[in-house]
Amino acid sequence: MKSILRTIVACVFFFTACVVGASEPTAEDFNKAFAEANAARKMAGELGHEWRDTAKILRKAQETATAGDLKKAMELVAEAKLQGEAGIVQAKREGALWEGRVIR
């Protein structure tokens, strides 16, 4: 019985730590995530598939982080990264599909 209780308490501490950790990103977390998102944006751009708002979202993320709201800044960076990665996927997919649309 004691061991079960100990396990439950340990789990509660662990998940609490995770939630607290996730809700309070550090500047280091932000910089790392920003660099990854920006790299995805650049790669999409090199392939000719950067989306219109990605750079704007990254600028907004930087401003938000500078203002001290790292949680919101991380959300923006995640959105930008998703856009950059989607642009890369779009470029690869279109490389194979565009010819099928040519008027014959």
Partner 1 sequence: MKKLIACFALGCFFAGVSTVALSTPEEDRVAFQNYYQTKFSDVPYDDFINGVYSIDMPSREQWQTLEEFPPYELALEQGETIFNTPFANGKTYADCFDNGGIGIRQNYPYFDLEQGQVITLELAINQCREANGEKPFRYKRGKIAELTAYMAYTSRGETINVVIPDDPRALAAYEMGKKFYYTKRGQLNFACADCHVGGSGGYIRTELLSPALGHTSHFPVYRLKWGAIGTLHRRFSGCNQQVRAKAFKAQGEEYRNLEYFLTYMSNGLEYNGPGVRK
Chain residues binding partner 1 by CB under 8 A are 45, 48-55, 83, 86, 90, 94, 97-99, 101-104
Q: In whole angstroms, what is the distance from residue 62 CA to residue 27 CA?
A: 11
- Which is nearer to partner 1, 29 or 45 (by Cβ)? 45
Report in angstroms how near the CB of residue 80 gets to partner 1 at its nearest.
12
As given in the structure block, the two tokens for residue 86 are: 């989607």
Comparison of 62 and 90: residue with beta carbon closer to partner 1:
90
Q: How far apart are CA 48 and CA 68, in angstroms?
A: 34
Q: Which is nearer to partner 1, 55 or 78 (CB)?
A: 55
